[in-house]
Structure formats: structure tokens, C-alpha cells
Amino acid sequence: MIVITFLDDSSITIEEDTVLNGYKNDSDDPKESYYLRQVYSNSIDGSEGDEASRLATVDGKIGVMGFILSVDCFSIGRNTESNILYRSSAVKSVENTNFSFG
């Protein structure tokens, strides 16, 4: 599993089948509503997408940290309407903890 630790020392755990959703700010037009555009949704094992998971790297923390660095914010889980949005810049560290790609 992978542990994401935030600046306030809270953390979340990511398993191979945990869905990560990535969002980017899409509010460039000052006359339009503020909006986030979903740019990614899949799990490390790729069970949520139609193509291979971009998160599945040889070292799990590398794929997850690359994902975090490429989005403005992210959420965890399939339900994208009632989950928490995390600001990517609030992440302090990503580490492997007994993680293997089996």
C-alpha cells in the first residue's frame, strides 16, 4: 500500500484498487463560473479504466507522486460527488508500505 502524508501530518492510504481522481483548474475565463476539469480517474491496478493505468509504475510511490504533481487537486474513491478534494500542494510525502504489484 501507499501512504500519502499531508503538511498537517494527516494521511490517507492507497491500495492497488483505490480510485484516484485528478482535477485541474479550468476557470481561465473571468466571465464564466469557477470549474474543475477531471483529467484522470483510475486505480493503480487499472480496474477502473479502459486502458492501462498510468499510476502502475515499478515503484508505486513514483506513479502516485507523479499523478499528484500533475494535477491541481485530487480525490479518492469512485463517488466523485461526495468525496473530499485534496489540494495537491498540501501533500508532504508519498511512501510505499508493504506495497507490491503481485
Domain positions in the chain are 2-95
**pLDDT tens digits, one per residue of 63-98:** 999 999 999 999 999 888 888 999 999 999 999 887
Question: pTM of the entire structure?
Answer: 0.84
Is residue 46 exposed (0-12), middle (13-18) or buried (19+ Cβ within 10 Å)?
middle
pLDDT of residue 32: 77
Residues 25-48 pLDDT 10s: 987 777 777 788 999 999 888 887
Residue 82 sits at φ, ψ, to 5 deg, of -125, 20
Residues with Cβ within 8 Å of 30's Cβ and at least 6 positions away in sequence, in order, are: none
pLDDT at 100: 52
- Tell whether the model's pLDDT for residue 3 goes beyond 60: yes
Residue pair 20/70 in contact (Cβ under 8 Å)? The answer is no
Distance CA 18, CA 43 (A): 5
